[in-house]
Structures are given as structure tokens and as C-alpha cells.
Amino acid sequence: MKNRIVRGIAGSFVLISLLLSIYVNQNWLWFTVFVGANLLQSSITKWCLMDTILEKLGVKN
């Protein structure tokens, strides 16, 4: 369950930041870079900040 939520949040962040970069300011692409870097980091280290946040909010596996 938690993995689906993390993927949904990451995908939403990417799509929202792309829309913001098109309609508001190109600097929103840095947020897309941040999300992508965090996804890459979590695949290497097997630690994800969003996982930790969701655990503290009471979301179960």
C-alpha cells in the first residue's frame, strides 16, 4: 500500500511541476530534478524520505 502511495505522490509531483514550468515559470523544473534525484537515491540506498513521512502519519505497509 505504502509503495503505491509513494509512487502516486512522486508521479503527481513530476506532472504538477511540469505543468507549473509550462504555465508559470521554468524554474519549476528544478522541482522535477529534485524528485528524480530522490527516486534515484532511494533506489540505491533503499531509504526514501516519503516512506518515513508516511510512517509517521500512520500509513501501514
Band (60; pLDDT cuts 50, 70, 90): confident
pLDDT (mean) for 51-56: 93
Is-contact 34 17, C-beta < 8 A? no
Q: Using a cut of 0.75, tell me whether the model's pTM lies above it.
A: yes
Residue 43, CA atoms < 13 Å, CB-side half-sphere = 7
Residue 19, class by beta-carbon neighbours within 10 Å (0-12 exposed, 13-18 middle, 19+ buried)? exposed
pLDDT (mean) for 23-43: 96
pLDDT for the residue 61: 78
Band (1; pLDDT cuts 50, 70, 90): confident
Is-contact 14 8, C-beta < 8 A? no
